[in-house]
Amino acid sequence: MSRQVLVIGDVMTDVIVMPEGPLVKGSDRRAKVRSRPGGSGANQAVWLGAMGAEVALVARVGTEELHMYENYFRGLGVVPFLGGDKELPSGVLVTIVDPDGERSFLTDRGANLHLSAADLPKSLLDNLGMVVVSGYSLFAPEPRAAVRDFLSLAKASGVAVAVDPASEGFLREVGPDKFVEWTAGADWIFANQDEAETLCGAIELDVQMRLLGSHFANVVIKRGRFGAALGGLHGIKLTMEAPVVTVVDSTGAGDAFAAGFLAAHVDGASPEVALARAIEAGAKAVRSIGGQPPSMG
């Protein structure tokens, strides 16, 4: 199997706000405020690069920041295929982190909303082993049309496809049935518990596996502190617990998890090894601020 992975998704600047206590409407609250590179697609690509995978990223950014982002990703082992947008600036995500590590988001996707067919030429499929699509690229009409056409080309070329729903809120907004319609037939889906419940309307893990497995060949459900499970049409095949860690910021933990699994998978690892590496990556991600690896060393 080729080790090359192509990630399609957002590039964002994450502004991470960690207030000392509840917000006070109309007044002040002390907080730590940090700015970090982010975006679900970008996070997955950088984690994949940090894990030694051969990885490329397709996204759009504001023209004025194009060269900065290209240099940034190259420095982290990611081949960038970035479009520069003259109309919209690069995306920004404000993340408010509760004391327990849970997050709320304010999203301005900016240039990501203009991802188009021109950003996804068929030549990207050359020597490719897998395409990974962040759900954010399916939540707006122009990117969705471009991505769906590209995934059809990937399927016709025998290239594996993985999808990550990415946002339960946006899933509800566009409709879970629509999302399944747009992505059904993918080889892999990586969903957290809330996304899985939204997509199939079931709470019980094995039922979620079977229902999602009727649309996707392999199903991985991320269960946070309870670990993760892998399965498909015939139910759960494998479950694994997560280590107990101190959560600093859960931003990007799901992206790190997916990257950990896929880096191992494309390198020929067994499902057990891939799931263990995914959980390890997710546990590492929550121990530092931001959605990308705290250290490339």
The CATH topology of domain 4-10+39-90+110-285 is: UDP-N-acetylmuramoyl-L-alanine:D-glutamate ligase (3.40.1190)
Region of 203 please: left (phi>0), alpha (psi -120 to 50) or beta.
Answer: alpha
In this prediction, what percent of the chain has a pLDDT beyond 90?
Answer: 75
Q: Which pLDDT value is given to residue 169?
A: 86
Bridge partners for 96 per DSSP = 17, 104
The reported pLDDT for the residue numbered 3 is: 58
Q: Which residue has the tokens 């975006």?
A: 39
What are the boundaries of each domain within the chain? 4-10+39-90+110-285
Q: What is the pLDDT of residue 47?
A: 95
**pLDDT averaged over the chain?**
92
For residue 185, pLDDT beyond 60: yes
Binning pLDDT at 50, 70 and 90, where does residue 271 land? very high
pLDDT of residue 24: 85
Whole-number pLDDT of residue 295: 58
Q: Are 208 and 232 in contact (CB under 8 A)?
A: no
Whether residue 294 is predicted with pLDDT greater than 90 in this model: the reply is no
Q: State how far the Cα of 21 lies from the Cα of 38, in Å rounded to an integer.
A: 25
With contact defined as beta carbons under 8 Å apart, do 59 and 112 qualify?
yes
Name the amino acid, one letter, at 290.
G
Best-predicted range by mean pLDDT (20-24, 171-175, 228-232): 228-232
Check whether 128 has a pLDDT greater than 70.
yes
pLDDT digits (tens, 9 = 90+) for 213-231: 999 999 999 998 889 999 9
Which residues, in sequence order, are CB contacts of 75 under 8 Å at separation 6+? Answer: none
Q: What is the mean pLDDT of residues 77-83?
A: 96
Res 75 pLDDT > 90: yes
Kindly tell me if the per-residue pLDDT of 2 is higher than 60. Answer: no
Asked whether 244 and 276 are in contact (CB, 8 A), the reply is no
Q: Which of 2-6, 29-33, 56-60, 155-159 has the lowest mean pLDDT?
A: 2-6
Q: Cα–Cα distances in Å, from 249 out to 13, 35, 45, 95, 246?
A: 16, 13, 19, 10, 9
Instruction: Decide if 4 contacts 54 (C-beta within 8 A).
Output: yes
Q: Quick one: pLDDT at residue 1?
A: 42
